[in-house]
Amino acid sequence: MSHPTIRRRFRPGRAVLSAVAILVAMGWAFPVYWMLNSALLPNSVLTSTTPRFWPSGGSLDNFAAVLSQGSFLPALGMSAAITLTTVAVCLLFAFLAALAISRFKFRGRTSFVLAVLFIQMLPAEGLFIAQYKMMSTLNLLNSVIGVSIIYIAAVVPFTIWMLRGFVAGVPAELEEAAMVDGCSRTQAFFRITFPLLAPGLVASGVYAFLQAWNEFTVALVILQKDEYRTLPLWLRGFVQASATRETDWGQVMAASTLVAVPVIIFFLIVQGRLTSGLVAGAVKG
Amino acid sequence: MSATSSATAANRATARPRRFRPAPYLLLIPSVAVLLFALGYPLYWQVLTSLQKFGLAQQFGKPPAFVGLENYRQLFSDPQTWAVVGRSIAFCLTNAIITVVLGVLIALLMNAVGKVARLILQISMLLAWAMPVIAVMTVWIWVFDWRRGLVNWLLTNLGLDFTNHNWLEQPLSFYFVATVIVVWMSVPFVAFSIYAGLTQISEEIMEAAALDGAGSVKRFFAIIVPMIRPVLMIVGLLQVIWDLRVFAQIRMLQDAGAPTSSTDLLGTYIYRLGVGSSDFAMASALSIFVLLLTLALSAFYVVHLMKEDS
């Protein structure tokens, strides 16, 4: 910035690059736009020979039709129950473990950290057969608890990893100083350390939320009854049901929008924290 | 409650470091318990089952017989298995390479343009990143729909006859569609990670190199690549591991009308063997193979990470 000559020399290239960037952006976002556009258009327009690129004459009829079928809200409830359970339990467990590995030196610490790293790499697709058998033996198929347990185990290693960096970033001396100033240990923890950990808890909570909310494979295997479908399973069922003769794309796109838009809005709000948390966990190794 | 005890423990740790303290182990119990229960036990069951005969009869109570490595022998003497393994590895490498290359290019673009263009680019990347995989699949299947899809309409209007062309019928074009989708949804993560790495590079170094006459290609390979190598390694390996086991994408495309026998990858093949035809022994043996493959890849990664750390 302190070299105006260099900046000026780069300018024409910059304009071209900006144009390229905006073109790439438009192309990349197009499928999302196309989903919204199709969701707003009536089927008579979608089945005509020329596509309409702008939702003129659009309406919310497709959304009304999807919602009136009555299966969306139960699926939403199921997704909410599983996700909340996963996020809450996962944060608690990971927080305790992160405290252990960043505030204590103990025998087995390194092996635990290595194990956490390895477990992160275990593919869900390599274990779901055994998990399905286990849940069926324990009578936990088609239950919030059964799915949540698997999600917690899948997400906890990474949240430990993320939180570890944040806990290590708060020096224990801060608490001790507060105690010298007359705080009790509990007060010192909740007034000093906890607020400093909040960004880390939010970041790992968001990560757990997105994983649980969007998960498909385990849900497909464990939740086999229609009444217990999560939103991803509901959407798949909706697409299949709609495809009996010729797919009602307007309604299918409205259903997709219903599943996607809440996540997208949530994600856009919190993404700054998520990416900084991801980078903190991954890069600080 | 937990918070109090941990704060107490932390203080005691600084005071008396030598004695055995149960606190860290107590703090680890919940995580270790859930991991052992939901991952450890299934893993154990899977190893055991892969060494047994465990089919439909065993489902109905017949005790499984120990057969040693017979399942593995049978599995890997079946050309179908090798076809699936080969396809999966080819698919995985193709997707990982395309994703990383595009991710790096887009990260460089983010770094090179002004604020407004960067923001627009980042928002579009975030949209693709945030979409739930099932919603992603539904949209793309609509875009590639054989009767009314946008792609066929576009190509036909460009003068190629793609009227009623079914993209999912032939394995090669099926994988082309799958690749477009997987790459589309994985690039944002790579782009943001690399961009985070790029912002760490000081502008002075780049300007000095430019003044010394290094062209942009030379600057890229001599300065940028070495500096973002750690991030590049991590995202590259994560892509390989993730792409090795794509399931939802392939499954949904098969739902949309593709012949399964010629389009199965490892994930969907395990599902078909296990949940589909109740051959849990075979499904377990194949799962163990996938786990070993993944573990080999991640061991490489962990060793590398440790080396860089010390």
Q: pLDDT tens digit string along A145-199? A: 999 999 999 999 989 988 888 888 788 788 788 888 888 877 887 888 888 888 8
Entry field: residues in chain B: 310
Residue given tokens 């395309």 in the structure block: B98
**What is the 8-class DSSP label of residue A227?**
G
Under the banding of pLDDT at 50, 70 and 90, the label for residue B309 is: low
With 70 as the cut, is the pLDDT of residue A279 above it? no
Inspect the interface and report whether the beta carbons of B207 and A6 lie closer than 8 Å.
yes
Confidence bin at A8 (pLDDT 50/70/90): very low
- A126, B294 contact by CB (below 8 A): yes
Does residue A63 belong to any structural domain of this protein?
A: no
Residue ranges covered by each domain of chain B: 33-309
Domain span including residue A54: 12-58
A1 in a domain, yes or no?
no
Interatomic CA distance for residues A18 and B110, integer angstroms:
9
Residues facing B85 on adjacent strands: none
Residues A100, A163 share a domain: yes
In the stretch 62-91 of chain B, residues with CB closer than 8 A to chain A read none
Shared-domain flag, residues A22 and A145? no
Q: Cα separation of A120 and A113, whole Å? A: 11
Indicate the pLDDT class of residue B203, thresholds 50, 70 and 90. confident
pLDDT digits (tens, 9 = 90+) for B110-126: 998 988 999 999 999 98
Is B135 within 8 Å of A129 when comparing Cβ atoms?
no
Residues A142 and A119 in one domain: yes
Sign of CA dihedral B98, B100, B103, B109: negative
Interface contact flag, A31 B140, Cβ < 8 Å: yes
Residue A189: closest CA among A201, A199, A174:
A174
Beta strands, E only, B26-178 = 52-53, 65-66
3-class SS of residue B111: helix
Q: What percent of chain A has pLDDT over 90?
A: 45
Q: Same domain for A17 and A109?
A: no
* Least confidently predicted of A79-83, A273-277, B10-14: B10-14
Is A233 part of a structural domain of the chain? yes
CATH number of B33-309: 1.10.3720.10
Q: How far apart are CA A266 and CA B282, in angstroms?
A: 41
Question: Which pLDDT tens digit goes with each residue over B41-97?
Answer: 999 999 999 999 888 777 777 888 888 899 999 999 999 999 999 999 999 999 999
Based on the number of CB atoms within 10 Å of its own CB, is B14 exposed (0-12), middle (13-18) or buried (19 or more)?
A: exposed
Q: What is the mean pLDDT of residues B153-182?
A: 93
B4:A189 CB<8 A:
yes
Pair (A43, A82) in one structural domain: no
Task: Say if A43 falls within a structural domain.
Answer: yes
- For A118-150, what is each residue's pLDDT tens digit? 787 776 767 888 899 899 999 999 999 999 999
Number of folded domains that form chain A: 2
Mean pLDDT within A253-274: 84
Which of A17, A101, A194 has its CB closest to that of B113?
A17
Same domain, A83 and A222: yes
Chain segment A204-245, per-residue pLDDT in tens: 898 899 889 989 989 999 999 989 999 999 999 998 888 776
- Report the C-alpha gap between A257 and A213 in whole angstroms: 15
Q: What is the pLDDT confidence band of residue A274, given thresholds at 50, 70 and 90?
A: low
**Nearest residue, CB atoms, B142 vs list A1, A38, A157:** A38
**Same domain membership, residue A167 and residue A115:** yes
* A32 located within any domain: yes
pLDDT at B307: 75
Whether A3 is covered by a domain: the verdict is: no
Is the same domain home to A54 and A88? no
In this predicted structure, what is the pLDDT of residue A1?
45
B176–A contact, CB cutoff 8 A = no
Residue A37 lies in a domain: yes
User: How confident is the model at residue A57, as a pLDDT?
Assistant: 83
Report for A16-20, A269-273, B226-230: range of highest mean pLDDT: A16-20
- Return mean pLDDT, chain B: 87
* A247 touches B: beta carbon within 8 Å: yes
DSSP alpha helix (H) spans, chain A:
4-40, 43-46, 61-68, 72-103, 109-121, 128-137, 144-168, 172-180, 185-188, 194-214, 217-222, 231-242, 249-283
Whether residue A35 is found in the same domain as residue A119: no
Residue B3 has pLDDT above 60, yes or no: no
A203 with A155, same domain?
Answer: yes
pTM of the entire structure? Answer: 0.84
Residue B37, pLDDT > 90, answer: yes
Answer whether residue A6 is part of any domain.
no
B220-261 pLDDT tens trace: 888 888 888 888 888 898 898 889 888 989 999 998 888 888
Q: Which chain B residues touch A24 with a CB distance below 8 Å?
A: 106, 109, 121, 124
Percent of chain B surpassing pLDDT 90: 48
Residues of B in contact with A268 (CB under 8 A): 123, 126, 130
CB contact under 8 A, B244 and A188: no
CB contact under 8 A, B294 and A123: yes
Query: How much is the average pLDDT of B22-34?
Result: 93
3-state secondary structure of B66: strand
Select the residue of A3, A176, A221 nearest B275 (Cβ to Cβ): A221
- For residues A140 and A211, state if they share a domain: yes
Q: Kindly report the CATH number assigned to the domain that includes residue A223.
A: 1.10.3720.10
Q: Residue B310's pLDDT is what?
A: 62
In this structure, the answer to whether residues A225 and A99 fall within a common structural domain is yes
Query: What pLDDT sits at residue B143?
Result: 95
